[in-house]
Amino acid sequence: MIIIKFLETMTLEEIFKSIVTDGLDRMRIEVSLPVQSYLGNLLHSYIQSDQLFETDTNSGKKNLTPLAQIYLKAQKVSLSEKLFLLKQVGDRSLYLGGFFRESLNKQLINPNYYSHIGQGAYDSLADYHPEEEIFRELSYHFIDLMDVLSYIACKHSIRTDEDLMKVCVKYLETGSKIAGYQLEDHGFSMEKNNKPH
C-alpha cells in the first residue's frame, strides 16, 4: 500500500498531505494550503477509528452518535463546547461522506445528508472560530472535498481484474467522474463519447 512505501522517508503527516495533494490535483480542485493541511490532518486523525466513536459509560461499547444529535447539542452549549461539537460534525461528515461514499450509497442515510449537515456545521463554525477562513472554505468546497476523499479511498481499491471490471461497469452505467479517473489511473484512455478503451 502507498503508506508502507513511504514510511521509510516521510512522516505520517507528510504522507497524508501528499495523498491529499494528489487527490486534489487529480480531481482538479483548488483550495488553499491551510485547507490542504487540514484535510491531511483529518485523514491522519481518523487512522484510529476510535476518533469516530464514543464509548458508552454503562456498557463500554463503542457508539457512533448521530451527527444531527451532535449538531443540535452544539446549539445549546458554551462557546468552547460549541466550537468542538461543530468541528466534530463537520469533520465526521466530510470523512464519512467522502471516504465511505460507496457504502453510503446503499444505506438509508446517503451522502447528501453528510454534505448538508457538514456544510452547515463548518459554516456555523466559521461564525465563531478564529480561523474563520479555513472553515468557510471547507463549507464552500464541501462536496468537492467529499469527492476528493472518495477518490483517495477508491484509488487503491482495484487489486484484481474483477475489481477493474466493476469500476468499468460503474463508469458506463453512471458516468462517475471518480470511476473515470480510476480507469485512467489504470491505463485506460477515455474517448469523446466517454467510453473507456
Q: Which pLDDT belongs to residue 193?
A: 53
State how far Cα 168 lies from the chain centre. Answer: 23
Q: Which pLDDT belongs to residue 108?
A: 64
C-alpha distances (whole Å) from 187 to each of 74, 170, 175, 179, 196 are 47, 17, 18, 13, 10
Q: Which pLDDT belongs to residue 31?
A: 97
Q: How do the pLDDT tens digits run along the chain, 197 residues long?
A: 444 555 567 787 888 888 899 999 999 999 999 999 999 999 988 877 777 777 777 887 888 889 999 999 999 999 999 999 999 999 999 999 988 877 666 666 778 899 999 999 999 999 999 999 999 999 999 999 999 998 888 876 677 777 777 777 777 877 777 777 777 776 777 664 555 54
DSSP string over 64-100: ---HHHHHHHHTTS-HHHHHHHHHHHHHHHHHHHHHT
8 Å CB contact between 121 and 89: yes
State the Cα–Cα distance between residues 139 and 65, nearest whole angstrom.
22
8 Å CB contact between 101 and 150: yes
State the Cα–Cα distance between residues 74 and 11, nearest whole angstrom.
34
Q: Which of 136, 132, 131, 104 is nearest to 119 (CA)?
A: 136
State the Cα–Cα distance between residues 196 and 171, nearest whole angstrom.
9
Q: Which pLDDT belongs to residue 82?
A: 96
Q: What is the pTM of this model?
A: 0.79
Exposed/middle/buried for residue 154 (C-beta within 10 Å: 0-12, 13-18, 19+): buried
